[in-house]
Amino acid sequence: MKVIKNNLIPILSFLVATCVSSAFTQEYPIPDQCEIPKFNENFGIYQSVSFGATLLRIKDSTDYSTEKTGVCVDLIHGYRCYDYPLCFEQKISLSSHCFGKISKENQFVSDSDHAFHSFGVTENIIFDFSSGMESGPYLGIGGGYKELSGKQKLVYFDRAVKRKIKSLGVQGILGFNFRIYPVLDAQLEYKCFRARKRAFIEHSLCVNFKAFI
């Protein structure tokens, strides 16, 4: 008993040191709210703007067709699902086709003096294959409304007349997504809008910048 009393202080010191050491060396799990999100996973609402070149083909009631090239701008509001690689987009498209030609059996007539302008609203579903990666392809399908207005040259009478075309149509999208910042993506995208009864077809090649908010 006397030995224990004489060594009580060293024993207590050893026990305290052991407890403190265990407390500092024990591993504790990181709470969920402290987890750092993965660099390549973005979900929720996003907005995008795109710029590009476009080719417009208008089919007449005759065997003549008009081809116009120009530029386009798109404004996009979308939502990316959390559990599935799907995006839902609403897109407003503006384009101006300033240069073109009229063709019949591969014979072309200059039509560069007359411009066509288009305005369209489409709803699209995007299948994003880049889930889990910093870059990857995506496919999309959708439909909407598009309106063309401008002047078109008549080959028979060698004069231009005003023309307006309004039509519903379907749209296909093919693109590739690049992550350039945790909440910012760059995309290279091709899209094709086909109006009812093939009244016109519009091809576009664009560069998109998409930001998650």
Q: Phi and psi (nearest 5°) for 24?
A: -80, -25
pLDDT of residue 18: 53
Task: Domain ranges for the chain, please list them.
Answer: 32-212
pLDDT of residue 11: 56
pLDDT of residue 36: 43
pLDDT of residue 197: 81
pLDDT of residue 193: 96
pLDDT of residue 3: 45
d(CA 69, CA 98): 6
pLDDT of residue 34: 47
pLDDT beneath 70: ranges in the chain: 1-41, 60-64, 101-114, 131-132, 152-161
Looking at the domain that runs over 32-212, which CATH code has it been given? 2.40.160.20
